[in-house]
Structure 1
Amino acid sequence: MSDKTFSRKLAEFAADTSFSSLPEAIVHQARRCLLDTVGVIIAGSAMADSAQAIQGFVKKCAPAGKASVIGTLLKTDSAHAALANGVAAHALELDDGSKYATYHPGASMIPAALALAEERGATVEDVLLAIALGYEVSLRIGTSVNPSHYLKGFHPTGTVGTFGTTVVSASLLGLNADELVSAIGIVGSLASGINQYEIDGSFVKHLHPGNAARNGMFAALLAQNGFTGPEEILEGRLGFAHCFSDTFNPSILEKDLGEKWEFQKIYFKPYCSCRYVHYAVEAVENILRGHPMTMDDIQSIRVLTHKNAKQGSDIPDYQTVLHARLSLQYGMGSMIVRGRAGLQEYTEESIKDERVKKIASLIEIEADPEIQKTYPEIRTTIVEITDTDGQIFASRVDYAKGDPLNPMSDEDLMDKFRDVTQTVLTAGRQKKVMDWIMDEGTLTNPIQELTDMLLW
């Protein structure tokens, strides 16, 4: 075992794991991720300009096929459907994530699984297995290279996500371990996504998971047809970890593999903004609950947090809706001015609100060395609001809502699904989709039964 490469160990785990061997809790977690991501795709498809732009591209350029572009009547090949649905899944910043691997697995993994499964006539059981395996392998890879990988400027949702979608695709295509080793090696050269969008708030961030979904399929299909990739793609001298990160913790790649699941550690999002923003928004909520104040009562606001939040979300001069979703200043300002930071607060009109801009100008963000010591296990954010009388009111959030230590229940996720899809789906269709995904009796049903409900 010790002479095997890490990609081979991961490939053998994925190729040898059957649905019947999955723990019940892992199957249930896969259902939760499927429900959450389907809701997010529906919302993004209907509400996000970037999603509608990619749908227009697919309509013009993609061939007809069997895979659904959710929220439209388009059926195309699996690669283009996964591309479009991946963009929609990430467009509203509502998708699940990992604080350890520093990326959003559902936005690429589930579009890949749905599109390929629909095209190939796969069942719910096939999809849930593929989801569990794709999440687990990519979460381990992402954790092994972060936070350095992110801090170097890469967007792990695009880079790390490709490994997960390759495993998802390999599972649904029935690749053996040797083929999957090559597929992982191939996709390492396709892993892409950089964070320059943080500077100007451009759409390209949303492209990353869709591209990861498409590239994972491409790599798996190439390997199935005899194309080879380097076996030491992860740990090699010129491999992913060396080229994309300043630190590498290889032990996470194999420790307790198949026994303890990183998949259980993901978080779900209650707010439609960058995860770093959630901590600050909750802290503001806590302060206002105990000490109600208006914007005119505030002299200054200080935020102590970790390096990732400082780098990715210290955006006082937000320019676009995407920019605002990433901005700590905007999320906090909206909560102070409006008492809300939900979907309706992230529109072109809303981000022009001068009241929120005024609050944003009062906020200073600091990366705190003591907080950094516990990152990523505890991603503490401390907010201190000083009022015009010089009084300081503070709140500390260690585990934002949705973290496994502050979890969203199944009912919370269903409430979220109802909320984000209410302008698109009737209550009857919402219930039908939720019941179908969460019903243990649908395991042998074709996934097309679900995707047919998502076309209109």
Structure 2
Amino acid sequence: MQQPTVAEHIGEFAAQLRFEDLPVDVVEHAQHLVLDSVGVAFCAANEPFAERARRALGLLGDGTQPVLALPDRLSPRDAAMLNGILIHGHDFDDTHIGSIVHVSASALPSAIASAIMNDRTTREMLVGYVLGVEVSARIGLAAHGGFHEVGFHPTGLAGAFGAAVTAGKLAGLDAQGIAGAQQVVGSMASGILEFLDDGAWTKRLHPGWASSSALTAAAFAGAGWPGPRRVYEGRYGLYATHLAGKDWDAEAITAGLGDHWELLATAVKPYPSCHFTHGFADAVLALRSAAGFAAEDVEHIRCLIHPTAAAAVCEPLERKRRPHDLYDAKFSVPYVVGACLSRGKLTLAEFTDDSLDDPAIHKLADRVDVADDPDSRFPQAYSAAVEITLRDGRRLNRREPVNRGHPERPLSHQEIQDKFTANMRAVGDEQLIQRVRDVVRDLGSDHSALEFAEACSAAPAAGGGEVL
């Protein structure tokens, strides 16, 4: 008898998992993550990238599935694609810290689309979503940060596999079928980091493409289409082809499934920028508040960061001091530090055209230098250390071993609620905010997934919501 492969092990676990098996804290955190995801989707709905995505997908046809925050009706795969773009578009969505994967941005669109296709309840949809988050996180964890080192975006890779498990589960596939969905999606998992060199928008596509591919893979697996059994561990499997010979840990994927939940290690973001910049925002804002100096008092800023993270948000330094566009600014430590020092905050307002051209931010970004951090906890945490030298000769130092929002420093339930409300108020009224809050709180009930999706769209809710 053959030993089960990683995909088959996951398939067995996923096929057997029921809502009653989920611990209370997993259900509660899952609801918080969904609330956060829907909120960031709404605040992205009127952005240029959303409009262009709608235009592109409209060329491919329409359908019947609702889309988060919008009145569009699309096919299941295109609805999943657009939902992934909306959730991930501002880079304000959750991240599983150790795996460096934006887990909800692919798991939730796949869960919504597949649950509607298969007439599932929100209880079943929530189980599918939890599985997608759990599997994506574990596949990313097994690489020990190695995907980033060789230029792949873990969200596009790991997210496709997790979303395929979600889609297979909600399609009613058995253990073999869910394994098959992973085996097929391995040929679709993708995402390169070249966008970091010029602020291109391709990263925004990665979780949506992962979700869309997952639905395709589950359909092919359900039809009996064979995929490679050893899609993870084979000589041409995911890790052999995407880690350039670096070690990976199969145990990280399967150990403790159902007992230890990586979903609980998924962090809600306090800032709308790359997570690797967050420790620097934390440190600079704390120093600015405690020391009470003015931006014009700053002579020099020295930032210590792990080399892998630095490659994404600090290199090349001269260009990072002058991001090409707003998306590029989200991946720039000099820009983030300059914005925090200049304005005393880091919100969506710091990522506008006016902010990008702000000479006060430019002056401070020009004073940022970067060095390796030998004490960084990366990738277990996105550590940062900052030294600010003032014109009067004072040197102010702060180290953030763990970024705020990390499971060791989580946002409170109230902070997550406040973030959701602020994001929703950018586009909707109190009636809409309450409507969405209520249906997310109801996740895990016998209400249909379609009702959830309708309430989270820009279409009127049954019973009286207004069109945005």
TM-score of the alignment, normalized to the shorter chain, above 0.5? yes
Please, which of 333, 337, 346 is the counterpart of residue 351 of structure 2? 346
Which residue number corresponds to residue 320 of structure 1?
325
**Cα deviation per residue 1:382-420 (whole Å; 9 max; x = unaligned)?**
011011122210111122221111112222111111111
Please, which of 361, 372, 379 is the counterpart of residue 367 of structure 1? 372
Displacement after TM superposition at 1:204 (Å): 0.8
Structure 2 CA distance, aligned partners of 1:424 and 1:288? Answer: 31
Structure 2 CA distance, aligned partners of 1:334 and 1:114? Answer: 37
Which residue number corresponds to residue 416 of structure 2?
413
Q: Does 1:207 align with 2:205?
A: yes
Which residue number corresponds to residue 23 of structure 1?
23
Which residue number corresponds to residue 396 of structure 2?
393
**Cα deviation per residue 1:113-157 (whole Å; 9 max; x = unaligned)?**
112223332211011100111111111111001311111100111
Secondary structure of 1:349's counterpart equals helix
Deviates more, 1:246-255 or 1:219-228: 246-255
Identity %: 30
Which residue number corresponds to residue 182 of structure 1?
180
Secondary structure of 1:303's counterpart equals strand
Which residue number corresponds to residue 287 of structure 2?
287
TM-score by length of 1: 0.96
Matched ranges for 1:330-341 at <5 A: 330-341=335-346
Structure 1 CA distance, aligned partners of 2:411 and 2:438? Answer: 18
Which residue number corresponds to residue 52 of structure 2?
53
Determine if contact 1:303/1:383 at 8 Å carries over to the other structure. Answer: yes
Displacement after TM superposition at 1:97 (Å): 0.4
Secondary structure of 1:302's counterpart equals strand
Structure 1 residues 2 and 363: alpha-carbon distance in aligned structure 2, compared to 1, 3 A threshold: farther
Unaligned runs of 5+ in 1: none
Secondary structure of 1:93's counterpart equals coil
Which residue number corresponds to residue 238 of structure 1?
236
Secondary structure of 2:173's counterpart equals coil
Aligned letter for 2:140? G
Determine if contact 2:381/2:406 at 8 Å carries over to the other structure. Answer: no
Which residue number corresponds to residue 445 of structure 1?
447
Determine if contact 1:414/1:434 at 8 Å carries over to the other structure. Answer: no
Determine if contact 2:101/2:136 at 8 Å carries over to the other structure. Answer: no
Number of matched residues? 451
Aligned letter for 1:286? A
Secondary structure of 1:393's counterpart equals strand
Which residue number corresponds to residue 439 of structure 2?
436
Please, which of 135, 154, 177 is the counterpart of residue 133 of structure 2? 135
Secondary structure of 2:385's counterpart equals strand
Determine if contact 2:285/2:345 at 8 Å carries over to the other structure. Answer: no
Secondary structure of 1:365's counterpart equals strand
**Cα deviation per residue 1:353-394 (whole Å; 9 max; x = unaligned)?**
1111111111012222332xx322233200110111222101
Displacement after TM superposition at 1:2 (Å): 8.9
**Cα deviation per residue 1:268-288 (whole Å; 9 max; x = unaligned)?**
101111111111011001111
Determine if contact 1:92/1:272 at 8 Å carries over to the other structure. Answer: yes
Secondary structure of 2:77's counterpart equals helix
**Cα deviation per residue 1:214-261 (whole Å; 9 max; x = unaligned)?**
001111111001111111111111110111112211111121111111
Secondary structure of 2:299's counterpart equals strand
Matched ranges for 1:223-234 at <5 A: 223-234=221-232
Matched ranges for 1:40-119 at <5 A: 40-46=40-46, 48-65=47-64, 67-119=65-117
Aligned letter for 1:310? A
Structure 1 CA distance, aligned partners of 2:321 and 2:226? Answer: 47
Aligned letter for 2:178? L
Structure 1 CA distance, aligned partners of 2:23 and 2:296? Answer: 54
Displacement after TM superposition at 1:351 (Å): 0.5
Secondary structure of 1:300's counterpart equals strand
Displacement after TM superposition at 1:449 (Å): 2.1
**Cα deviation per residue 1:288-315 (whole Å; 9 max; x = unaligned)?**
1111222221111001111232011112
Which residue number corresponds to residue 462 of structure 2?
none
Structure 1 CA distance, aligned partners of 2:177 and 2:162? Answer: 15
Displacement after TM superposition at 1:88 (Å): 1.0
Aligned letter for 1:284? V
Determine if contact 1:77/1:119 at 8 Å carries over to the other structure. Answer: no
TM-score by length of 2: 0.93
Structure 2 CA distance, aligned partners of 1:387 and 1:370? Answer: 25
- The RMSD of aligned alpha carbons is 1.5
Unaligned runs of 5+ in 2: 315-319, 459-466
Matched ranges for 1:236-315 at <5 A: 236-245=234-243, 246-314=246-314, 315=320
**Cα deviation per residue 1:74-102 (whole Å; 9 max; x = unaligned)?**
11111000101111111111100012111
Determine if contact 2:334/2:368 at 8 Å carries over to the other structure. Answer: yes
Determine if contact 2:111/2:128 at 8 Å carries over to the other structure. Answer: yes
Displacement after TM superposition at 1:341 (Å): 1.3
